[in-house]
């Protein structure tokens, strides 16, 4: 995960799930736990991570998803 750019008043972090060996869910939930109130997490995945949306909702996060290539989806996640 890298802090690579400033968004609004906070920081945008990026987690590329395609680079994780095995199941990425643990790394994603860890990144969410580390996310500050003014930070955005951009999750990059090779498919639309639909099962994640209910988890985000339960944990108090908003998200926007965009397909940027046939095998690349970007999900911007922010605390409510």
Domain ranges of the chain: 2-79
Give the pLDDT confidence of 22-73 residue by residue, as tens digits.
Answer: 999 999 999 999 999 999 999 999 999 999 999 999 999 999 999 999 999 9
Between CA 38 and CA 26 the distance in angstroms is 22
Between CA 46 and CA 79 the distance in angstroms is 23
Q: Domain spanning 2-79: which CATH class is it, in words? A: alpha beta
Q: In the prediction, which pLDDT does 5 show? A: 40
pLDDT confidence tier of residue 9, bands split at 50, 70 and 90: low
């Amino acid at each position: 995960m890298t802090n690579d750019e400033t968004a609004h008043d906070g920081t945008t972090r990026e987690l590329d799930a395609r680079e994780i060996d095995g199941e990425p869910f643990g790394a994603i939930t860890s990144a969410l736990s580390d996310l500050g109130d003014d930070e955005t997490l951009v999750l990059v995945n090779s498919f639309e991570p639909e099962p994640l949306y209910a988890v985000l909702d339960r944990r108090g996060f908003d998200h926007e998803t965009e397909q940027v290539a046939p095998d690349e989806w970007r999900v911007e996640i922010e605390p409510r």
